[in-house]
Amino acid sequence: MTCQLYLLTPPRLDAGFLETLIEALEAGEVAALQIRLKDHSVDEIKQLAPPLIKAAQARDVAVILNDDPELAVALGCDGVHVGQGDVPAKQARAAIGPRRMLGVTCHDSRHLAMQAGEAGADYVAFGAFYPTQTKEPPSMADLDILEWWSEIFEIPSVAIGGITVENAKPLIEAGADFLAVSSGVWSHVDGPAKAVIAFNALMRGE
């Protein structure tokens, strides 16, 4: 399959973000949007998330909530993404049921990725591949983990961490099924919509 774009929200939303999001989603192909509002409280997320969810799902973009399986279900998200310090993958799968998507952060660990697959993950996320402004990554990953995974397993892989239009090509070539991008889109010099267009072109091999 062709590599696809997986957008992550900024950790804190500015006024007007919904309009920015819609422009980005309408600029090109986006497979998924992860609502990752680390700098907002749960009550704020309950207020901020519904318009984002509606905008994405109306454009056939899957919506994944970070960290909280029960809230993902309550908000009508298409799935949840859990880290190694969050709800265990098996517990998250039980909470969201069989039809919603489950993604699991696996850092640079082949063992964690295989465990996630056994626990019912729909995708595994490797990274960080590059330094990131969003958070201090606990580990850095090498391209060979993407190559290894894509050769052996059918579960899709997501590459994450500091990905920009300028540095994405090696990840695509290594076999990443999705690129999870935050500031590489929202802080792009020409604006988020142009970033989506540029990522799409890269993924088509242009």
pLDDT in tens, the chain (206 residues): 799 999 999 999 999 999 999 999 999 999 999 999 999 999 999 999 999 999 999 999 999 999 999 999 999 999 999 999 999 999 999 999 999 999 999 999 999 999 999 999 999 999 999 987 766 777 899 999 999 999 999 999 999 999 999 999 999 999 999 999 999 999 999 999 999 999 999 999 99
Strand intervals (E) in 83-122: 101-107
Query: How much is the pLDDT for 134?
Result: 64
Contact 69, 80 (CB under 8 A): yes
Please tell me the predicted confidence (pLDDT) of residue 75. 98
Q: What is the pLDDT of residue 141?
A: 94
Question: What number of residues does the chain have?
Answer: 206
| Residue 63: predicted pLDDT | 98
Give the pLDDT score at 15: 92
CA pair distance 91, 97, nearest whole angstrom: 10
The phi and psi torsions of 9 (rounded to 5 degrees) equal -65, 160
pLDDT at site 139? 82
Domain range summary for the chain, segments of one domain joined by +: 4-203
What's the sign of the alpha-carbon dihedral 105, 27, 75, 132?
positive
- Judging by DSSP bridges, how do beta strands 123-127 and 4-8 pair with one another? unpaired
CA quadruple 177, 19, 101, 130: dihedral sign: positive
| pLDDT value for 135 | 66
- Select from 3.40.630.30, 3.90.1300.10, 3.40.50.300, 3.20.20.70 the CATH code of 4-203: 3.20.20.70
